[in-house]
Each structure stands twice: as structure tokens, then as C-alpha cells.
């Protein structure tokens, strides 16, 4: 038996005070847990852990030959440095310098370069690297733009996304195609007391689109992600989910279909969706104002992550005239006009209030040229 644990047990036998006895037992438990964890770590051949574990006592006293870090561009350099032990023979960093970096809450620290990852530092200094140039996620109509604008045209489509099975049955409807921009001229942003922004018109439009999709394809079994560019938009979206649930239950005959559809919907920010994917992504741009101020939605890395989460369909909700002020977003909408559909949403709230799904499919006036 470990000498420390044995000595603590001897203390118990001579302890009469209840509080002292409890404190001693807690101490013994923690010591035992630590010793067991250290023993398991030393014996293991392959271990999965967070970077936070690299700062633990167990890691510092254990030697590894190879260490692989996934999403390495989202880790600040100080988080990664403890991995560089003398015993380490190879460090493999896996990440995308064209996507979101580490989150740094201090502006002063960010200005000082604290947010630069070890991956990015080596990458910028032309350290040899291997690019995984084949993508197996995005529909070709989505990946073509991303490859050309974010990866210098080097990104190639895998055989799975080029197969006929990757084109889904809902793609036959233009409003549910692989690439759609829902143009909301009347929906304007609102600034919150937190400094964040919301756009209730976009929220209503997203739920209206999902309702129409459910009515038309209740058995799609598609995974759906609602990506919000602002935290308050995510918060408001989640608050309105209950109303959306009730709406679906009122129009659906089978409550199980509603439950399954709702269980497949996730709502999060762009940062929360990095590294994830869904069959269908509905992207809420939020920003829409007369001044043409777009904030951080123009950040090229944020745009990249936003556009590369979808497998089969990417539906974007925003104000075309406002976002086209930015060259990157204008190129996005120009591409969608040529390869997808730009559909006007002429009311501030529900975009298809006056139309059934069948009406929408037949109305050519819903097509709009992106200027």
C-alpha cells in the first residue's frame, strides 16, 4: 500500500473529532485518486485528453513518444508548449490556419500576440507542412467557392461528395437547394444592452423556412444546424424554439416526426460550430443597418468557418444590399446567384406568409439578380 495512504489511515485510527475525521477521509480519497490516475497514465499506450491535461501532474511525470494535437490553430502557444518535453520524439499539429484562432478575452494580450498558435507561428515561417487537400464534407457547389476563395483552389472533392447520392431529394426544390441566399431587405438589426446584436426578422424567416421544409419533407432525417454570428441571436433563437415546436405539433399528424425533427436541430454560434458539420446549415448574418456597418462578420476566417459547416445544403439569411458592401460577402452572393438561388423575403417577419410551398416553387418572381 502507498506510504502516504497508509500514514493517513493511521491518523484516522487516532482521530476522534468528526470534522477532522471527514477532512482526513477526503484527503485519503484525493490521494488515492491521484495515485491511481498516475499509475494508469504511466501504463497506457494511447491516451486521449484535452490540452488542459498537459498542465497536470500526471502528464508532467509521464513520457510519450508521439503527441497529436487536433484543432491546433485554436490553441494559444502557451497552451501547447508544455507538450514539448525532452522525451517527446514527434509532435503532430493538425489544424487550419484559415479558420478561427484561439479565443483571447484580453485585447491587450491579443495585441501582444498571445492568441497566435504554435501551428500558425510555424506556418507563417514556412515550416514544412502537409496539406490535406481532399474534402469529404461539402456539396460541390459549396466547396467550389470555398476552395477558390479560402484555399487558393487547392481543395478537391472526395468521391463521396461527387456521387449521385450526395444530391438530396429536397434539392429538387430551388428554395431548398445546395446553396440559397434569402434576401431580407426589411429585417434590421437591434443592438442589445450587452453590446451584441439580434435580428428578429431573420429568426422568423429561419423558422418559417424550417416549417416549410418539415411540411414538404417530414421524413428527411436531416441533421440541421442554425449558425448565428452573434451570441444574443443564438439566445433569442433558443428562446423561440418552444413556439416553433408548438407550431409544428399543430400542423403535424405524427408527434414522433416532430420530436425527431426537433432533436436533429442544433443552435450555436460560429465559434461553437467550428469542427462540426450538419446536413443542412442555416446561417444568420444578423447585421443589417442603414450605415452599412458589418462588424466582425467580415473577418475572413469567420466567413470561412460559417460557409464550410454544411454537407448538403447551405441557406444564408441576410440583407443583400448591406452585406454586399463587403467584397468577401459580395463575392459569396455573386457566386450564389450564378450557382444557386437568391430569394427575396419581402416581409420583416415570416418570409412565406402568403404562399404555400407549392406556390413558392412556381413563382418566378422569387428569383432575384444580385446587383
Q: What is the mean pLDDT of residues 252-278?
A: 94
Nearest residue to 83 (alpha-carbon basis) of 44, 47, 125, 113: 47
110 vs 241, higher pLDDT: 241
Contact 58, 39 (CB under 8 A): no
> How wide is the angle at C-alpha 186 spanned by C-alphas 180 and 190, nearest 5°?
100
The DSSP call for residue 274 is T
Residue written as grid cell 450564378: 338
Q: What is the mean pLDDT of residues 121-134?
A: 94
- The secondary element (H helix, E strand) that includes residue 77 is helix 77-80
> How wide is the angle at C-alpha 246 spanned by C-alphas 243 and 252, nearest 5°?
140
> How wide is the angle at C-alpha 217 spanned by C-alphas 214 and 223, nearest 5°?
75
Radius of gyration of the chain (CA): 26
Query: Residue 126: its pLDDT value, please?
Result: 94
Res 6 pLDDT > 80? no
As a whole-number percent, the residues of the chain with pLDDT over 90 amount to 64
Q: Which of 123-137, 141-155, 243-257, 345-359 is predicted least confidently?
A: 345-359
Contact 344, 314 (CB under 8 A): no
Query: Residue 49: its pLDDT value, please?
Result: 86
331 vs 350, higher pLDDT: 331
Res 11 pLDDT > 50? yes
How is residue 146 written as a grid cell?
A: 470555398
> How wide is the angle at C-alpha 39 spanned by C-alphas 35 and 45, nearest 5°?
150
Of the spans 13-27, 63-77, 150-164, which averages the highest pLDDT? 150-164
45 vs 346, higher pLDDT: 45
Nearest residue to 221 (alpha-carbon basis) of 272, 309, 280, 174: 280
Query: Residue 352: its pLDDT value, please?
Result: 39
| Coil, strand or helix at 199 | coil
Pairing outcome for strands 190-191 and 179-184:
unpaired
> How far apart (Å, rounded) are the C-alpha atoms in residues 210 and 87?
53
Please list, in sequence order, all residues whose beta carbon lies within 8 angstroms of the beta carbon of residue 167, skipping any fewer than 6 positions away.
139, 178
31 pLDDT band, cuts 50/70/90, is confident
Query: Residue 347: its pLDDT value, please?
Result: 46
Dihedral angle sign, alpha carbons of residues 319, 321, 325, 331: positive
Q: Estimate to the nearest angstrom the gap between the alpha carbon of 177 and the chain centroid.
A: 21
- The secondary element (H helix, E strand) that includes residue 343 is strand 341-345
> How far apart (Å, rounded) are the C-alpha atoms in residues 283 and 221?
20
Query: Residue 361: its pLDDT value, please?
Result: 41
Pairing outcome for strands 224-228 and 265-269:
parallel
Entry pTM: 0.82
Which strands form 341-345's sheet, in the order they lie side by side? 265-269, 224-228, 278-284, 310-318, 179-184, 341-345
Of the spans 92-106, 150-164, 336-350, which averages the highest pLDDT? 150-164
Q: What is the mean pLDDT of residues 221-239?
A: 97
In angstroms, the Cα distances linking 301 to 103, 113, 187, 219 are 13, 17, 26, 35
pLDDT digits (tens, 9 = 90+) for 173-196: 999 999 999 999 888 999 999 999
> How far apart (Å, rounded) are the C-alpha atoms in residues 247 and 121?
50
Q: What is the mean pLDDT of the chain?
A: 87
Q: What is the mean pLDDT of residues 233-243?
A: 96
In angstroms, the Cα distances linking 300 to 15, 32, 65, 223 are 64, 49, 37, 26
Query: Residue 15: its pLDDT value, please?
Result: 53
What crossing angle do the helices spanning 300-307 and 140-150 adopt, rounded to 10°? Answer: 160
Half-sphere exposure of 191 (CA within 13 A, CB side): 6
> How far apart (Å, rounded) are the C-alpha atoms in residues 174 and 353?
18
Q: What is the mean pLDDT of residues 18-23?
A: 71
Q: What is the mean pLDDT of residues 137-159?
A: 97
Q: Phi and psi for 67 in degrees, rounded to 5?
A: -135, 125
Greatest Cα-to-Cα distance within the chain, rounded to the nearest angstrom: 88
Q: What is the mean pLDDT of residues 65-85?
A: 90
Contact 287, 203 (CB under 8 A): no
Query: Residue 368: its pLDDT value, please?
Result: 38
pLDDT digits (tens, 9 = 90+) for 336-355: 999 989 999 864 434 433 33
| Coil, strand or helix at 333 | helix
- The secondary element (H helix, E strand) that includes residue 92 is strand 90-93
Amino acid at each position: 500500500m502507498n506510504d502516504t495512504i497508509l500514514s493517513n489511515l493511521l491518523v484516522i485510527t487516532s482521530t476522534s473529532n468528526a470534522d477532522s475525521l471527514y477532512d482526513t477521509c477526503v484527503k485519503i480519497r484525493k490521494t488515492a485518486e491521484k495515485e491511481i490516475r498516475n499509475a494508469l497514465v504511466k501504463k497506457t499506450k494511447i491516451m486521449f485528453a484535452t490540452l488542459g491535461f498537459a498542465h497536470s501532474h500526471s502528464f508532467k511525470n509521464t513520457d510519450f513518444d508521439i503527441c497529436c494535437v487536433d484543432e491546433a490553430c485554436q490553441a494559444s502557444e502557451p497552451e501547447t508548449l508544455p507538450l514539448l518535453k525532452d522525451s517527446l520524439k514527434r509532435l503532430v499539429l493538425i489544424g487550419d490556419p484559415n479558420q478561427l484562432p484561439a479565443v483571447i478575452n484580453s485585447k491587450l494580450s491579443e495585441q501582444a500576440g498571445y492568441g497566435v498558435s504554435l501551428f500558425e507561428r510555424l506556418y507563417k515561417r514556412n515550416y514544412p507542412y502537409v496539406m490535406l487537400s481532399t474534402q469529404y464534407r461539402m456539396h460541390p457547389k459549396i466547396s467550389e467557392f470555398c476552395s477558390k476563395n479560402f484555399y487558393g483552389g487547392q481543395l478537391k472533392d472526395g468521391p463521396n461528395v461527387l456521387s449521385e447520392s450526395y444530391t438530396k431529394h429536397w434539392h429538387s426544390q430551388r428554395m431548398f437547394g445546395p446553396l440559397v441566399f434569402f434576401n431580407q431587405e426589411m429585417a434590421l438589426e437591434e443592438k442589445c444592452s450587452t453590446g451584441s446584436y439580434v435580428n428578429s426578422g431573420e429568426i422568423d424567416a429561419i423558422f418559417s423556412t424550417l416549417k416549410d421544409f418539415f411540411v414538404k419533407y417530414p421524413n428527411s432525417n436531416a441533421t440541421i444546424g442554425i449558425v448565428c454570428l452573434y451570441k444574443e441571436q443564438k439566445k433569442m433563437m433558443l428562446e423561440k424554439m418552444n413556439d416553433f415546436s408548438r407550431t409544428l405539433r399543430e400542423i403535424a399528424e405524427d408527434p414522433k416526426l416532430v420530436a425527431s425533427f426537433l432533436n436533429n436541430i442544433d443552435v450555436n454560434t460560429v465559434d461553437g460550430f467550428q469542427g462540426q458539420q450538419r446536413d443542412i446549415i442555416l446561417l444568420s448574418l444578423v447585421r443589417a443597418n442603414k450605415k452599412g456597418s458589418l462588424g466582425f462578420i467580415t473577418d475572413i476566417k469567420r466567413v470561412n468557418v460559417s460557409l464550410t459547416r454544411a454537407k448538403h445544403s447551405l441557406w444564408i439569411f441576410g440583407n443583400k444590399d448591406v452585406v454586399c458592401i463587403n467584397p468577401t460577402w459580395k463575392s459569396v452572393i455573386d457566386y450564389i446567384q450564378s450557382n444557386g438561388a437568391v430569394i427575396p423575403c419581402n416581409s420583416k417577419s415570416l418570409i412565406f406568409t402568403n404562399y404555400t410551398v407549392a406556390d413558392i416553387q412556381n413563382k418566378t418572381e422569387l428569383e432575384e439578380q444580385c446587383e
